[in-house]
Amino acid sequence: MGKPYSQDLRRAVIQSIEEGSTREEVAEAYELSLSSVGRFLRRWRATGNARPEKFGGYKGYALKGHERLIEQWIAEQPDITLAELRVRLAKRKIVVGKSSIARFLDYIGLTFKKKPSRGRTRPIRRGRST
């Protein structure tokens, strides 16, 4: 997927059309497709600017509206698993995957970690004997 056209190009296209050029002339002059010129115009007439919509990089959370409910469940049962959360959500007709739940919990600052008192396992070093 390519990047959006610059704001300068969009302004120039709209200005050319407002000065009397046809869409076809403007498309040929700026080496754009006729559909791009049409999109710029529609956006300009609908919103008063020709800025592109947000481009990639962000996707909302399906669980955004259920934050308090999830926090309540975790407060009641701190060792609840992602699978158990998924089942509880499904009972309320909220269907999401475990990875979506994990990303949302990370987003709100709740992570599932092992108890800090338990040490991490260390790899066995090869070639060294004790």
Query: What value does the mean pLDDT of the chain take?
Result: 85
Model pLDDT for residues 96-117, shown as the tens digit of each residue = 999 999 999 998 888 766 555 5
With a cut of 60, say whether residue 55 has pLDDT above it: yes
In the numeric block, the tokens 């007709």 are attached to 93
Task: Give the CA-trace dihedral at 48, 51, 52, 57, to 10 degrees.
Answer: -120
pLDDT given at position 2: 73
Does pTM surpass 0.75? no
Q: At what angle do helices 82-91 and 98-107 cross, to 10 degrees?
A: 100
Rounded mean pLDDT, 64-82: 91
Instruction: Report how many helices (DSSP H) and strands (DSSP E) the chain contains, helices first.
Output: 6, 0
* Tokens coding 77: 């049962």
Domain boundaries of the chain, sorted by first residue: 7-47, 64-107
Distance in angstroms (rounded) separating the CA atoms of residues 128 and 91: 54
82 torsion bin: left (phi>0), alpha (psi -120 to 50), beta (else): alpha
With a cut of 90, say whether residue 79 has pLDDT above it: no
* Tokens coding 7: 């704001």
Pick the CATH number of 7-47 from 1.10.357, 1.10.150, 1.10.10, 1.10.287: 1.10.10
With a cut of 70, say whether residue 41 has pLDDT above it: yes
